[in-house]
Chains A and B, each alone.
Chain A
Amino acid sequence: MAPPTTFRTFRAGWSRVPLIGWLFGALLAVTLERLVGGPLAAAVGLPKIPALFGLDIMLKKPLLIPNAFLYVLLVYGLPMGFATRASIAPANRLAAGLLRLPITVTTFVYIVFLYVIFHVWAEVNDYRALVLKLTLIAIMFTLSLNVINGYMGEFSCSHPGFMALGAYCASVFSLGLFVDTRFFGTALLPPALGPFVFPVALLLGGLLAAAGALIVAVPSFRTRGDYLAIISLAFLFIVKSLIENLEYVRGPRGLSGQPDWANLPTVFLWTVACIWSINNFVTSTIGKALNAVRDNEMAANAMTVDTRRTKMVAFLFAAFWAGIAGGLFAHVLRYVNPGTFGIQSLAEVLAMVYFGGLNSVYGSIVGAVSISLLGEALRPLEIFKWIIIPLLLILVMIYRPTGLIAFKDVDVTALFRPRTGPDEEV
């Protein structure tokens, strides 16, 4: 279905804006908000700067919807619209220039740019920062599940279990070494060293999760589909029950007081690393082998794909990143308990994966971001939220059974290239 012509011509004006142009526009918008957001919000009749693009205000005070729209238009819409359009030529030149540099340098520049935007945006208030951090973690979690459920085509239910392993391992490490607690004794190392050792805690968490994944990966050699689904489900029950019974980590009471190391740059860096490595993973030969295993295991075997090795690597890799996400999660909340990693969390992450799109890095990002934002925005609806979100998902499943953006990996060069042609799709 083609959009109406007026809309299309309207959109065509921005079809030549390269990514860097959009980033410039976004930076301008967030800087503007940072500088004049408060007075501007007051001028359009809002009590405060709307935290999540006005989404949080709209349902709570429906009378303020026009004001919120006006604010979003003034702060984000207009500046971004004009700045991106006005800077098409220089931005394209810049994009072309950046592409001539080594790709790592280019990527680095873009990532720094993106981080600056996030940083300025999140600085306005701490609620934003928290939502942003949890959304980034959700992206990691969703993406790592997509490796198994999307790229490998299994229906794995064990992911919250991997996350729990990572969260607990990282928490025990950081609480045991750096914090005086009643259960782990006094701190062994000076807290100043903490932020530098934090990656070690996360890596250990990831490794423990990967080790746990062996329990699911080994049976996957001999069976798949539904049998694997319940093996992984049994694994989830086992992990939860195990943690509940471990007096060492205080059972159902959970661990609290993790040091405050998971700040925005840390979470952002890990998320970038996660997206980068998973994207590389799925576009590499092993990623193709995964797809081959999904589509037809016997044929893949005949074509000299080592299916066992492929499955094993995929499971360990996905579990590793789920573990890292868990470690970050525990340090963002600064509390972790086994109840968090149950069936409910499984339903949530499955929803994110399938809503966003199977077999797709973009899809996972879109899925995680939209479900997280939707969850925050619809909070004022209280219980009706849990009617609307499932309905939306059912509709997406009916009309796009593979999710919103399925089968799409990140191609860095295509993403960064200048847009010179008149009508190129992004």
Chain B
Amino acid sequence: MRKGLLPGIFVLAVVMSFAPSGPLQAAQTIKIGINAPLTGDIPKVGEGTKFAAQMWLEDVKKAGGITVGKRKIPVELVLEDNESKAESAVKVATKMITEDDVLVMIGPQASKQAVPAGGIANNYKTPMISPWSTNPDTTKDRPYVFRACFLDPFQGPVLANFITSEFKFTKAAVLYDVASDYPKGLAEFFKQAWEKLHGKGSVVAYESFTTKDTDFSSQLTKIINSGAQVLFTPQYYNEVALIVQQAHQLGWKKPIVGSDSWGSAELVNLCGKDCYGDFFSTHYAAAGAKGATKAFIDRYKAKYGYVPDDVAALTWDSMNLAQTAIRNTGGLTGDLKKDRENVRNALARIKKFKGITGEMTFSGTGDPSKCAVIVKISDKGEFTFFKSVCP
């Protein structure tokens, strides 16, 4: 009995290896991976990503799939949580690409995950679009990695120029989070641009803190006593609320300027009247938006109960960029490797894409050229359009 078993299994194995491969190629679907931080430090970002992607999926489902060539192909989202960790983002990217066979990967959002995950996507020659990562390293020397936002080296000078021309100030203070790559990078680019305009030493206070700090009194005391005319703080909206309030409590009465990370509807909830009248640069202005942008905002608000953050808007644009690229390939071959390459090439050729966060044009690299908007927080707490700056 025992002796018979082993050969028996081998015979079975050999027979099965020649068996027809079953109902594997039943229906072709396009799989799109969403690599989002649903848990961890920035769950809000993950939530925005998820909601925007689901809204997009609804639209596509209603249309019966993406029209590629002459066929309509149904779409499936592969949503995975990267826990806001670099290690997890790499695991998720590898899993999506090698296991789930996604055609395009959207995300990760934050640079600390997008940089390593971008390496994976590029190695496996799978197009990836990071909606929100502004670190130059994400797309650098990686033909398969794209992004939907502008870069820090663009945003820094935009703000420096804006402050100079608008207020005619010459002394600025900067307060940023030293442990987070986005604020640190932007703070550096702003400092560079500012010192180029006003000479060395014109950034009179260059202060920092660490992620999750809530008390900035020591740094703000320094800033207030440095004689700065404007405070630039490229922080996330939750920290902005604290910084602005504490600055006012310590007697700061001059303008405070921020960057696109301010662009959340929650800012005004958290910050209240203290933020009124301040400026920041961002991708789009929610109040007074027109056309597709307004439609998106209204729909999102009706569905999830709050005005979408810039992350949601950028994710929406990334999804549509992917859709446009897939459509532009003119037809899927069914060979995933070839299709991924085609989609990549189509992405790199996209010109004048009308996104809800502005017009995007890719020219060879993964970085779009798009305009930045300067937004003023009105006395009603709305983000109103103030000025548009294009590269």
Contact A252 B22 (CB under 8 A): no
**Which of the segments A337-345, A358-366, A415-423 contacts the partner chain?**
A337-345
When the two chains form their complex, are residues B13 and A256 in contact, meaning their CB atoms are under 8 A apart? no
Q: Are A35 and B17 in contact (CB under 8 A)?
A: yes
Chain B residues with CB under 8 Å of A130's CB are 90-91, 94
Contact A339–B2 (Cβ < 8 Å): no
A393 interface hit (Cβ, 8 Å): no
Provide the residues of chain B in CB contact with A297, threshold 8 Å.
none
Cβ of B16 < 8 Å from any Cβ of A? yes
Binds B, one of A187-195, A279-287, A380-388: A380-388
CB contact between A126 and one of B38, B94, B179, B211 (< 8 Å): that residue: B94
Which of A39-47, A95-103, A317-325 is found at the contact surface with chain B? A39-47
Alpha-carbon separation in the docked complex, A43 to B181 (Å):
48
A333/B98 in contact, CB under 8 A: no
> What are the interface flags for A32-53 relative to B under an 8 Å C-beta threshold, 1 for contact and 0 otherwise?
1001101110110101100100
What's the tally of chain A residues with a CB closer than 8 Å to chain B? 52
Does any Cβ of B come within 8 Å of A223's Cβ?
Answer: no
Contacts of A79 in B (CB 8 A): 9
Residue picked from A39, A240, A335, most chain B C-beta under 10 Å: A335
From A251, which residue of chain B is reached at the shortest CB distance?
A: B184
B302 within 8 A of A: no
Determine if A245 and B2 form an interchain contact, defined as CB atoms under 8 angstroms apart.
Answer: no
Query: For the complex, what is the distance from the CA of A86 to the CA of B87, rounded to whole Å?
Result: 42
A36 lies within 8 A of B178 (CB): no
B35 to chain A, nearest CB (A): 12
Binds A, one of B78-86, B190-198, B235-243: B78-86
Q: Is there a chain A Cβ closer than 8 Å to B390's Cβ? A: no
Which residues of chain B (149-186) have a CB below 8 Å from chain A? 178-181, 184-185
B335 at the interface (CB under 8 A from A): no
Q: Please tell me the size bucket of the interface on B.
A: 35 or more
| Complex interface residues of chain A between 12 and 62 (CB less than 8 A to chain B) | 32, 35-36, 38-40, 42-43, 45, 47-48, 51, 56
B337 within 8 A of A: no
Residues of chain B in range 290-345 having any CB-CB distance to chain A below 8 Å: none
State A244–B211 Cα separation when bound (angstroms).
11
Chain A nearest Cβ from B115, distance in angstroms: 5
B305 to chain A, nearest CB (A): 19
Evaluate contact between B81 and A39: CB separation under 8 angstroms. no
Q: Which residues of B contact A379 (CB under 8 A)?
A: 80-81, 92
How many angstroms between the C-alpha atoms of A45 and B120 in the bound complex? 29
- Could you say which of B19, B43, B98, B137 contacts A256, with CB atoms under 8 Å apart? B137
**Interface membership of A334, Cβ < 8 A:** yes
Within 8 Å by CB of B91, from A39, A131, A385, lies: A131
Complex-state Cα separation, A241 to B3, whole angstroms: 64
A215 within 8 A of B: no
With known contacts A42-B21, A48-B99, A385-B39, A36–B86 Cβ distance under 8 A: no
Contact B39 A386 (CB under 8 A): yes
Within 8 A of A (CB), among B36-69: 38-40, 43
Q: Find out whether the CB atom of A86 lies under 8 angstroms from the CB atom of B2.
A: yes
Please measure, in the bound complex, the distance between the C-alpha atom of A376 and the C-alpha atom of B17, giving whole angstroms. Answer: 30
Q: Does A338 contact B135, Cβ atoms closer than 8 Å?
A: no
Interface centre among A35, A134, A254 (most CB of B within 10 A): A254
Contact of A85 with B by CB under 8 A? yes
Residues of A294-340 at the interface with B, using a CB-CB cut-off of 8 Å, are 329, 333-340
Is A82 on the interface with B (CB-CB < 8 A)?
yes
B17 touches A36 (CB 8 A): yes
> In whole angstroms, how far apart are the Cα atoms of A376 and B40 in the complex?
15
B112 at the interface (CB under 8 A from A): yes
Q: How far is the CB of B367 from chain A (nearest CB, A)?
A: 17
Q: Nearest-CB distance from A41 to chain B (Å)?
A: 9
Q: How far is the CA of A127 from the CA of B3 in the complex (A)?
A: 37
**Bound form: Cα–Cα A131–B92 in Å:** 10
- Name the A residues within 8 Å of B184 (CB-CB): 251-253
B89 to chain A, nearest CB (A): 9
> Of all chain A residues, which has the CB nearest B87?
A333
Q: Is B116 an interface residue (CB 8 A)?
A: yes
Assembled-state Cα–Cα distance A245/B94 (Å): 31
B38 near A383 with CB under 8 A, answer yes
CB contacts (< 8 Å) of B111 on chain A: these are 253
Whether B391 is near chain A, meaning CB under 8 Å from some CB there, is no
B116's partner among A35, A42, A256 (CB-CB below 8 A) is A256
Contact of B22 among A32, A43, A241, A386 (CB under 8 A): A43
Chain A residues within 8 Å of B115, by CB: 254, 256, 335
Residues 1-41 of chain B: 1 if any A CB is under 8 Å from the residue's CB, otherwise 0?
01101100100010011011111100000000000001110
Q: Does A83 contact B (CB under 8 A)?
A: yes
The answer, among B16, B91, B98, B210, for a CB contact under 8 Å with A125, is B98
Q: How far is the CA of A363 from the CA of B276 in the complex (A)?
A: 57
Contact of B5 among A51, A86, A386 (CB under 8 A): A86
**A273, CB-defined interface residue at 8 Å:** no
Given A39-B17, A42-B21, A43-B16, A245–B178 Cβ distance below 8 Å? Answer: yes
Q: Would you list which residues of chain A between 127 and 144 have a CB under 8 Å from chain B?
A: 127, 130-131, 134
Interface centre among A35, A126, A134 (most CB of B within 10 A): A126
Query: A38-B21, A256-B115, A333-B87 known; 10 other A-B pairs, CB under 8 Å?
Result: A36-B16, A42-B23, A130-B90, A251-B181, A257-B119, A335-B90, A337-B86, A340-B87, A376-B91, A382-B38
A-B contact pairs, 8 of them (CB 8 A): A38-B21, A51-B95, A56-B95, A78-B9, A127-B91, A253-B184, A340-B85, A386-B39
Q: State the 7 A-B residue pairs at the shortest beta-carbon distance, nearest first.
A: A335-B116, A42-B22, A36-B17, A126-B98, A253-B181, A252-B181, A127-B95
User: Which residues of B does A touch, CB under 8 Å?
Assistant: 2-3, 5-6, 9, 13, 16-17, 19-24, 38-40, 43, 80-81, 85-87, 90-92, 94-95, 98-99, 111-112, 115-116, 119, 124, 135, 137, 178-181, 184-185, 210-211
